[in-house]
Amino acid sequence: MTNEELWQTVLAQIQLVISPASFATWFKQTSIASRENNEITISVPSSFSKEWLKGKYHKLISKIIDEEERGIKEIKYIIGSSAPVIVKHSQEKKINQAPAIEQLDFQELKVDKETNLNPRYVFDNFIVGSFNELAHAAALAVVKEPGRAYNPLFIYGGVGLGKTHLLQAIGNEIDKHSVKTNIKYIPAERFTSEIVGAIRNHQIEALKSKFQKIDILILDDVQFLAGKEKTQEEFFHLFNFLYEKN
């Protein structure tokens, strides 16, 4: 995988986790400047962006890179004079043309826009070890009997142990064998953003209706809900609805 391909994959995952506004603000002109000796250097457009990414998004970036590229020991940030934009454009477009940054090309980045699942996360390329073999076995059981075995399934572990990979592998495997099943993968931060936005715009009932059509909800980084009482309340109601729906 080239540096560009790796960073496009990382950006696809980041876009699912944070709000469109934050994504456009902090990741619009970023790229991997170099990758060697188990070290990745990320190019950013300004010193402010550098400090913000290091302070707020470094753990997220590290987590995703570790899942995509094993063996990376260190991630650094440099200020680049001409970091490329994140969305590819044809050579026929003018250089000074404003790039479209609100939505990444899902087909290019291979993230299913209906399920939010990345098809690269499957059981076949999941590395099983003593630290995750129980979670792996439970995930396989869920695939065999969705809604019955381990319902709900809660996976807990440290950063870089493959939780996101395993969660998405469950969704991809079920989606492959059951085309009528409505599956949705959503990171908790994105879930929270949608709840907050719906409340602010007086559209909470419409959002509830959308979520209630889901057959299998895969919520990642659930610890992000801690301290967010209104989001927890809405998730509690949604959880009970889906659980009763089985």
Q: What fold characterizes domain 3-87?
A: GMP Synthetase; Chain A, domain 3 (3.30.300)
**Burial zone of 165 (CB within 10 Å; 0-12 exposed, 13-18 middle, 19+ buried):** buried
Mean pLDDT of 117-126: 92
Residue spans per domain, the chain: 3-87, 123-245
Q: Is CATH 3.40.50.300 the classification given to domain 123-245?
A: yes
pLDDT of residue 128: 86
DSSP character for 217? Answer: E
CB proximity list for 54: less than 8 A, separation 6 or greater: 77
pLDDT of residue 246: 66
The pair of three-digit structure tokens given for residue 68, joined into one six-digit string: 């995509």
pTM recorded for the entire structure: 0.59
Amino acid symbol at 65: I
Q: How sure is the predictor about 99, in pLDDT bands with cuts at 50, 70 and 90?
A: very low
Neighbours of 39 (CB within 10 A): 12
Q: Is the pLDDT of residue 75 over 60?
A: yes
pLDDT digits (tens, 9 = 90+) for 128-144: 888 888 899 999 999 99
Q: Is the pLDDT of residue 68 over 50?
A: yes
Q: Could you tell me how many helices (H) and strands (E) the chain has, helices first?
A: 10, 5
Higher pLDDT: 80 or 106? It is: 80
Pairing mode, strands 216-220 and 74-79: unpaired
DSSP string across 143-201: HHSTTTTTSS------TTSSHHHHHHHHHHHHHHH-TT--EEEEEHHHHHHHHHHHHHT
pLDDT digits (tens, 9 = 90+) for 198-213: 999 999 999 999 999 9
Q: Is the pLDDT of residue 87 over 70?
A: no
Mean pLDDT over the full length of the chain: 83
Residue 111: φ, ψ to 5°: -100, 125
pLDDT digits (tens, 9 = 90+) for 6-58: 999 999 989 888 877 778 888 988 999 999 988 999 999 887 788 889 888 99
